[in-house]
Structure formats: structure tokens, C-alpha cells
Structure 1
């Protein structure tokens, strides 16, 4: 398994003396060092789960690598088609820099921001291809993004190991690290113009409803955007992370903190809010990680060598598509079951009938 032999399996793997907090309910989790890549402890690190909005860390990385952060985008009604779930509050006629959109994506988990960014990178399908290619390039070969915003879709999956890789890579970008570590940020209203400017969080006016300009245009005013990662406000040394939830994924979470110069990140998948909320469970695991000096593996960045090492195998099983010469040769010992044994299966089925 990627990361070392100790990471094979579904049970907890941890150094001697590491005590798993009893209130941690996530089916899969991993604590890793952001600087060295060492895996401090984990549970079911390669188990595949729905990531929910944690996949937005991957989208944000691709967006920051592709688009100029200062580029201003004027949003249209078409940009927002399909926006549902958690929304940051983008509207038609609004003008938003790429930096503002990524803030709405990461701080408020805005599904509307995800769609606007994707449509400025060539479209949703093209963006998904870029996200999956970037994940595969990192070595996150058990990750498949089926939606740009983290809503559940066919084949949507990731692992605690993969998301640790993805988050570590994202945090190497100062723009990303700065955004996920921000508690408050001004966000524009719409349509652009008078009354729609993003307010200064330090001197924001009292919250007001829509106003009307002299020409009769109704304006939704700018507002202060608060980061929904509660670890930032409640855990000493916290400096970033991402929240997530869908019905299938249940609660997911990434959190990062620094203590005595050591920077740890924790990923939780398939979790609950009882007996503790996701950020509180993350805090418990971070405490345990900071109390541990040993490790059980290491994050390995880069695609694994060998055939079938990328993400193309995720959408197919033993009855998958036929492509190689070996798969097309029925006498070969390799290839899909239907190609190798199709005639015999047909005879058996006829006999059974």
C-alpha cells in the first residue's frame, strides 16, 4: 500500500503508547505531518469513502494554478445553473475576483462558487478531468471527483491517505494557506456597483437587507464572510482546514494546527456529530498526534509506477472495458472475465436454463 506496509488494513495503526480518543467516531482518519509527510497514526487509511466538500480543496488547487487570482469575473445566470446545497451568496451581475470566489469556496463551502470557477476553466467536465488528473499526479489514485462541489455523484470517492496528500499539496500554495487560515473576509454583493462593495470585516456596517439604487436597481449588499471551520476559533495554533457534509458522506473534516514548530493535519471521513462535533474530534486527534513522536508511514507524492497505476482503473472492475491486446486475446490469461470465459459462461447459462 502507498505510504508503507503498516497502512494496509482497516484497523487503527499507531505507534506504541498512542491512545485513540474514545469520542472519535469517524470510520476513517489520518494524522500526518505537513512538513515531513510522516503519518503519525491512522484508521482505515486507504478505505474509499465519499469526501463531500473536502474535494473542494482539490478544486481550489486547480483553480489557483489555472486562473489569475486578480482576474475579475462578472457572473451571469448561466454560471449559476445547478447551484444547490450550501451557497456563499453569489448573484447575477456581481463582479468577483478569482481570489474572492476561492474564499467563498473554501471558507463558506460555496457550491455556487465551485460552479462559477469550473465554468471559467472550460466547463464542469473539463474541470473534473483536471481535478482527477492532478490527484493522480500526486499519487492520490483512489480519488475520483464526480462533482466539482462535493455533492454525491456516481463513483465519487477518496481516502484519508489521498486527502492528506491533496491537502498537503494545496497548503504549499501561499494563496490557499492564507484563505483557509482566514477567519473573516469581506464579500461583494450583486449586481456590481453602488452598495455592492465588499465591506471591511473590522468595520462592517450592521447587516441590512436589499437596497434600491436611484435607477430602480435592487442591490443585495456586500457582507462579511465567516470561515465555517470552528477549529480556527477554538483550537490554539489552528491555521486551516475544510468542512464537509452530505447524506451519503456524512460528516467529513480536515484540520491543521501548529505546536512548538510542528505542523500536523488530520483528515476524518464518514463521521458523526455525536458525541463530539467533527472539529472537536479533530482536536482530540491533533492532541494525541502532538503527544506522539513516532510515525507509522509516510505520504508519498507522485504517481506510483507500473501499469494501471492511475485513476483509470477506478471506473472498471473485472468486467470493465476491453482495451489492450492481451484483453482482446481470449487465450490470454489476462483481461476481463467476459473476454476470457465468455463462451463457457454462455454455455453454462444455457444449460442452467
Structure 2
């Protein structure tokens, strides 16, 4: 099934807001020097408790341990049953951080690190490019890695590989793409460089797939930066929102002909697909989940409601219930949508270093960074599914996320005026018996 990401006009309210922001920014450029941040000095190793000297990127309060929130008039209180060791709720357009808890605590990220991998590597290869997998491509994967099922000697398109990364969190797909990119070491180096460019200074990459490794850390703040950057790329938006897809299987001989089999893969993001104890979240559009022994469960999500787009990251909930990271993320989304416009920001998502240093407007279109320019035909269904009328389970309807003007501010001297339409999430899944 083909999927399109048509650009839609920015809502008038968004346009008016962006014009006001533009005016304020232009007035302040002459008064305010752009700011970039130096990498924090602490070791990249995770700590048992949040340190007192965490990074202050995005604002001093974000570097303080504990919960940071400034409730204005009418703003609801935060949910009391959030057990994640670190979390953040931010407005994707303005970059305002509405609330956070140990936002800069360096923790193992698990497969949420794949967002940085995708943001770094995805623009390099056209989605239609084909690659035959060599044995060396799959070397070095960690024991017990999540895999999509890539086979040596078989040929895959780049699109196939990215669907394997985003839907099944396939470390095998990550390793094949890394091999295409010059190898794991080269890819890790580029990921660290890109993290520094994004001012994601809590992050230290050791493995491109997020597999546990000594010294591999990130933070809720940095993971949110990765998601925000990646979501400005059309292919990234499509892959992270795809619910299910057909993935190439083995090639077999049938009646003297070579026939390539396929099998269905489904996204493991339970706010996108739903589960027995989790409903599809209203307005969800990705982004990436993870789970390892050291990291616990981690997740970054993006959702829209009433024209407002929020990003939420939660890392390692201490409550051991099934799907707890999704349940806590949903509660934080609910709070964020209710508090938006009422809670006063406690910090901001900073701009990339180069944009902050330039202090001016960064151009680009809605598909900036789209791999190879044109996406191929979609083999999956990049729509969030909702229950058909009358179906048991009460899965929520996922509404369309409209395009808009993405406004990023750093030191009151940086403005990106760019459309970034998120995928159409209105379609419903066919009723199943």
C-alpha cells in the first residue's frame, strides 16, 4: 500500500504564532549572541543516582536533579504514579520543555539510540538502492539481539532495511546499513559527531544499535533532540509511523523458478499498535522504543492533539508492570496536552550547534534529509490503527497530524521556518473477527 506525505498549509494560528516569533527573534538578534554549549566534563558512565552537576543545556533547571515543573494558573498537577528514572515533556514546535525529571541524567538508552543512527545515516542512501548481504555485514552483533530476520546472500532495498530498524528494532538491519556506511566504527564515529552537532552532549555512542556496552549513555533530553531532528526528514517520519509491513524472506525454487517469500512485521511501539493492556494513543505518530537488561524500557514518542505536537521521552520505569513505559508515556502526554499554554516552560530544546552559531535562518524544505530524494512505494501501512466500531479493547482513534511551521529557538537568535507534515493517521484498521 502506497503512503504519501503531502504537505498541507500551516494552520492560521500557527502562521500567526510563527510571525510573532519571527518578529521577536529579529528584534533580539542584535542584542543576543548565539549560544553553544561545551560538552560536560563528567565521565560518560551511568551513575546510580542523578548527579548534582548534570548538564545545563537547555536551561539551568534541566540540570537539576528531581522533577522540574512550573504550574501556571489552571495547569493540572503532574501524574503521581510516574516511576521513570528520567523523563521529559516538550512542545515539538516551540521547543519549550513543559516539565522534566532528571532530564540530563546519563543512562543506557537501549534501542532509542537507533533514532540517532537513523538521523545520521538515513540521508545517505536512496530508499530504492539494493544491497546483497555478505556474512561480514552481520558480524559483531551482541548475543540476544533483536533481529528482523535478514539472511546472508539475500538482497534487500534500503527501504526494507529501514523498516527492519524501525518496526522490529532489528540490530541485523542496523549492522547491514552500518556496513554500507563504511563499517560499525565509522558509523559510531559519525553518530557521536552528529550528537555533538545537535548539542546532545549527554550522549556517548559505542554501538550503533543501542546494544548495551560499557560507556554507552544518553539522556531523556538528548533522545528528544534526536527525535525532533529526525522527524524533520520525510523518510524518518514514514518509517517510525509504519504499523506493519511485508518484509522479504527466503528465496526458494518453485517449479523451476526462484520465488522470494515474504512475511509480515509489526511495529513494537505499543502506543502505535496497541496491546492487550495498552490502547493506541490518540494522535500518536512514532517514534522509537527500546529495552535491554541495563537500560530497562525506554521510549520516545510524538503525538498531536488540537494542533499541538508534543514529544515525550521516558527512561527505565521502576514499576515492573507489563508495558509500563507506554502507560507512563501516555500519562505524560495527557498531562502535557492539558497543561500546554498553562504550565510555564522550565527549559528549551536547543538548536543544532551550526544553526545556533550562524544566528540566522536555516533553510530547508519539508523533506530535508529524505534519503535519495524520493521515497519508494510503501510496502507497509504507515497509519496508526484504531479499533473498528464495536470491537472490544477500546483502542483509541489516532487523528491526523497536520503540517505546520516548525519553530526552533536557541539564544533568541535562531529560527527554522519549515513545514514538517507528520503522517496521516486517520485510516482505520479493518475489523477483525
Residue equivalent to 2:158: 98
**1:1-353 alignment, distance < 5 Å:** 1-16=56-71, 17-83=75-141, 84=143, 85-191=145-251, 212-214=253-255, 221-233=261-273, 234-272=280-318, 274-275=320-321, 277-292=324-339, 293=341, 294=343, 295-303=345-353
CA contact (8 A) 1:251 1:272 kept: no
Per-residue CA shift, 1:14-39, capped at 9, x if unaligned? 12144232332110000111111111
Aligned to 1:328: none
Which structure's CA Rg is the greater one? Answer: 1
Distance in 2 separating the partners of 1:18 and 1:59:
36
Counterparts of 2:320 and 2:333, CA distance in 1 = 18
- Is the 1:272–1:278 Cα contact (8 Å) retained in structure 2? no
The unaligned stretches of length 5 or more in structure 1 are 192-210, 307-353
Partners of 1:18 and 1:301 in 2: CA distance? 29
SS at match of 1:117: helix
TM-score relative to the length of structure 1: 0.77
Q: CA deviation at 1:272?
A: 4.3
Shift of 1:215: 5.7
Structure 1 residue aligned with 2:31: none
8 Å CA contact retained: 2:316, 2:325 = no
Q: CA deviation at 1:122?
A: 0.3
| Aligned equivalents of 1:88, 1:15: Cα separation in 2 | 43
Contact 1:186 1:223 in 2 (8 A): yes
Deviation string, structure 1 residues 195-254 (Cα, Å, up to 9, x no partner):
xxxxxxxxxxxxxxxx6534698x883111111101113111101111101111111111
Which structure has more RCO (C-alpha within 8 Å, separation ≥ 6)?
A: 2
4+ residue segments displaced more than 6 Å: none
| Other structure's SS at 1:151 match | coil
Change (3 A) 1:245 1:44: same
Query: What is the Cα deviation at residue 142 of structure 1?
Result: 1.1
Per the TM alignment, residue 82 of structure 1 is displaced from its structure 2 partner at its CA by 2.7
DSSP-derived class of the 2:149 partner: coil
Give deviations 1:72-127, integer Å, cap 9, x for gaps.
Answer: 11112221123341001111122211121111101110000010000000000000
In the alignment, which residue of structure 2 is the partner of 1:204? none
**Other-structure match for 1:344:** none
Q: 2: distance between equivalents of 1:94 and 1:47?
A: 41
Superposition deviation, residue 182 in structure 1: 1.1
CA RMSD of aligned residues (A): 2.0
TM-superposed deviation, 1:301 = 1.7
Residue segments in structure 2 that go unaligned for 5+ positions in a row: 1-55, 274-279, 358-433
> Whole-Å Cα distance in 2 between the matches of residues 108 and 52 of structure 1?
14
- SS at 1:129's partner residue? helix
